[in-house]
Amino acid sequence: MTTPAGRALPAGTVTFLFLDIEKSTEHLESLGSDYPQLLETYWELTGQAIADRGGVIFGSEGDGLFIAFPEASAAALSAIDAQAAYANAPWPRSSSV
């Protein structure tokens, strides 16, 4: 099976991870025209953390991502990597994800 982007999903026993922006509606309302920058930063940092650990995005809903990993440890480390990247990111105004 492949993703919409044509990447193969992991086979065998896999681990699924779901990520989204907490309080995204509040961020949208408070940031207005700066919200697209928040999303761009979020997608870039999250995508890098997923790719670095061998994850495959197989779906999305709004700002939420559905990801498959070949190992549970890779999913956990990807989430940790993403959180570390978020903590150091240049978010619009005083917003943080």
pLDDT band at residue 5 using 50, 70 and 90 as cut-offs: low
Give residue 79's pLDDT. Answer: 96
Beta-bridge partner residues of 15: 69
Q: Which two tokens stand for residue 12?
A: 């065998």
- Class assignment of domain 15-87? alpha beta
pLDDT recorded at residue 95? 54
Q: Would you list the domain boundaries of the chain?
A: 15-87
pTM (two decimals): 0.77
- Phi and psi of 51, rounded to 5°? -65, -40
